[in-house]
Structure 1
């Protein structure tokens, strides 16, 4: 009897943590190169046959493997509990998820907004439409979430930024932004998050902003929150004690995932 009970316990445990992590590569025609991507899919024996999708953009110098080991280590389990597919593209060391005007091998807006979703929908059991698709990121990935997502409401229905870079001009040399956008200040202005306000006024997207109170980017996020209020753009803004590190956004991500689940459930 004890052996039977132990076997049942092992079976139950395996079912609970049965989501599958696929390490794949996706060819980007816009960049002419292959991009590594991790895709976490719920267990196929669960009730649903198609799932909402959450695309996750890592921060500067990050990668999908680090996301699973340090930034949001609970993602694999959350795929099953939340019944969603997570897609984690490798955004490079310092791509800033832009379509670079100076480097044709950096065209990540096109990849994230068009090429990757097309591939995901063709190869995985996804639900279609923006109401079933979210974009989530932190730091550089938060910047990418807001700049890409705001331009593509036809793809992403909800945007979640944690500790996001809103204005990169103080960090141009430190974080290699000049290598991606060049040295023309006028060009930089076109890539700032605030330049997306007009698009957000009519996008109808759900927007979540979260930042630690001790984060050097906290003031930027507060100012962007104020700008959204000024333009009467609906959003949720949160602050919690914490700094610009994985200890903060690993917890903040769980709150955003809870919000996404309610969004998918129509609540």
Structure 2
């Protein structure tokens, strides 16, 4: 019995010796006049290292929050340690869609992320404070949000991804509180047109933004992702596009995140070598 206990203890110590650290912090948004919770995951090497780290911002889906990535994704800490970058779990207030609402002045999540959150993280943590050291991705609503923000702010993000993204939400006018952020599609069609990613590809002309987009073949967003992919091909916009078996669920996203993290790791490696 003593021998068995001793072996178990050794195994426990081995896995505990290297573990990403998770912080929950409050970031004040001057634009929305409130504190917003944010999840920060740093690799085990962070505390003792004198180098600066690249950062991946992750955006949750509808009804999620900043803690989605540590509560629902059991391997995210291992991936942070493996690739040695910082991950930021952004809070998008369950249904913000990550843009500045043209009808609700209290919902300014584009301003918050770009002008408030990113500078705060760069000030508080040892980050590579340039587009070469930043990537952004998300799932569902967060996939739309990550592409939206990266397309509009290529000076901030050098790489971006989307997992099962709602990259054209116009076919779903009654879903996910979108009309609370944009008004109804019948009354304010221009709001819907200019804030949906599929209509923003003109921003990628002569762009060097690195992109990875994926969606499950049984996902209700598969058609809009295929349309985005088709338009990008026609415009000769460089991107990785993947379809895999899967639905709009955590099982698909856990697998998808592994591919996206590897994509960002490779991007950071390339930019570090060339800058």
User: TM-score, structure 1 length as denominator?
Assistant: 0.93
Which residue of structure 1 aligns with residue 208 of structure 2?
204
**Equivalent of residue 248 in structure 2, options 234, 244, 253:** 244
Offset, 1:10: 4.7
Which residue of structure 2 aligns with residue 49 of structure 1?
51
Q: Is 2:62 aligned against 1:67?
A: no
Which residue of structure 1 aligns with residue 195 of structure 2?
191
Which residue of structure 1 aligns with residue 102 of structure 2?
101
For 1:115-157, what per-residue CA distance to the aligned partner results, in whole angstroms no more than 9, with x for missing partners? 1110000001111211110001010000001111100011100
Provide the rounded CA distance (Å) in 1 between the counterparts of 2:226 and 2:96: 25
Offset, 1:73: 2.1
After TM superposition, the structure 1 = structure 2 runs for residues 201-240 of structure 1, keeping only pairs within 5 Å, are 201-240=205-244
Provide the rounded CA distance (Å) in 2 between the counterparts of 1:125 and 1:10: 29
Which residue of structure 1 aligns with residue 21 of structure 2?
20
Q: CA RMSD in A?
A: 2.0
SS at match of 1:64: coil
Question: Contact (CA 8 Å) 1:150, 1:203: kept in 2 or not?
Answer: no
For 1:203-254, what per-residue CA distance to the aligned partner results, in whole angstroms no more than 9, with x for missing partners? 3100110000111111111110010011111000000000111111111111
Offset, 1:192: 1.3
1:185–1:6 CA distance, 2 compared to 1 (3 A): closer
Provide the rounded CA distance (Å) in 1 between the counterparts of 2:251 and 2:11: 32
Gap runs ≥5 in structure 2: none
SS at match of 2:200: helix
Provide the rounded CA distance (Å) in 2 between the counterparts of 1:172 and 1:33: 29
Offset, 1:69: 2.0
SS at match of 2:56: strand
1:40–1:238 CA distance, 2 compared to 1 (3 A): same
SS at match of 2:17: helix
Which residue of structure 1 aligns with residue 180 of structure 2?
179
After TM superposition, the structure 1 = structure 2 runs for residues 116-127 of structure 1, keeping only pairs within 5 Å, are 116-127=117-128
Gap runs ≥5 in structure 1: none
User: TM-score, structure 2 length as denominator?
Assistant: 0.90
SS at match of 2:243: strand
1:42–1:48 CA distance, 2 compared to 1 (3 A): farther
SS at match of 2:205: helix
Provide the rounded CA distance (Å) in 2 between the counterparts of 1:10 and 1:193: 46
